[in-house]
Amino acid sequence: MNTKNKCARDRLILALDVNTMEEARELVTELKDYVGVFKVGLQLFTSVGPDIIKMIRDEGREIFFDGKFHDIPNTVAKASANLIKHGVTFFNIHTIGGSKMISTTVKLAKETAKSLGLPKPTILGVTILTSFGQRTLTEELLISQNIDDYVGKLAKLGRDSGLDGIIASATDIPKIRKECGEDFIILCPAIRPTWSVVNDQIRVVTPSDAIKSGVDYLVVGRPITSATDRVSAAKLVLDEVEEAIAEMACAPTE
């Protein structure tokens, strides 16, 4: 998947962190012209079920299913295959589940998509949640490695096990690019425009920072969904992304 040539809209993922189909439908209907992908997470999916996937597909938009699967290999692989049967071909799993869990899932997901005549699935790995900082990693999980080094190691494990990309903070990108190459997809959550508040995310960046650092997809939630004028907020994010893309295109190559 070549995301570098995608327009700003198709690189913007809106987090549908709501509880009801009515709230989700309102957001999708209002913002589908400004958002290429809608993120469905556990909060919404456990409330309304697979109907949310059909609704978004019927509106002509792609779904990123943010389920962060982590279990024994057979369970994660079969759960992922079920997602594909519902029409989801863009989702994530935890890299900390290990190489066997990842490779088993990738294999069955590809086979399922092919049998249904669906596009090859794009499967991303989760490294360290953006709510984690070094203190959590060291003092609570007892992992002594520097958080940047640990993220890089998990990203490489994911790539070597067949994943298409990784989910990580923009600050982790230099190490991930060095470990995994330029074609490895990077999706960045915790995107906060300069005019929005941080909320509960620790490691955050602006849309412009993310694009300039090499991010492929950006996830934005509350800065748009909680705005008084959501369309204007979405347009502001797109303007910032487009400006960063233009600056990158005009930047001299070394």
68 is catalytic: yes
Distance CA 79, CA 83 (A): 6
Is the Cβ–Cβ distance between 82 and 59 less than 8 Å? no
Q: Write the CA distances from 227 to 7, 12, 234, integer angstroms.
A: 23, 17, 9
Picking from 53, 65, 129, the residue whose alpha carbon sits closest to that of residue 94 is 129
| Residue whose C-alpha is closest to residue 172's, from 209, 220, 123 | 209
Q: Which residues pair with 125 in a beta bridge?
A: 93, 166
CA atoms within 13 A on the CB side of 15: 21
Catalytic residue among 32, 68, 85, 212: 68
CA atoms within 13 A on the CB side of 72: 2
Taking CA atoms, 201 is separated from 60, 144, 191, in Å, by 30, 22, 9
Q: Are 120 and 113 in contact (CB under 8 A)?
A: yes
5 contacts 22 by C-beta, under 8 angstroms? no
Residues assigned a catalytic role: 68
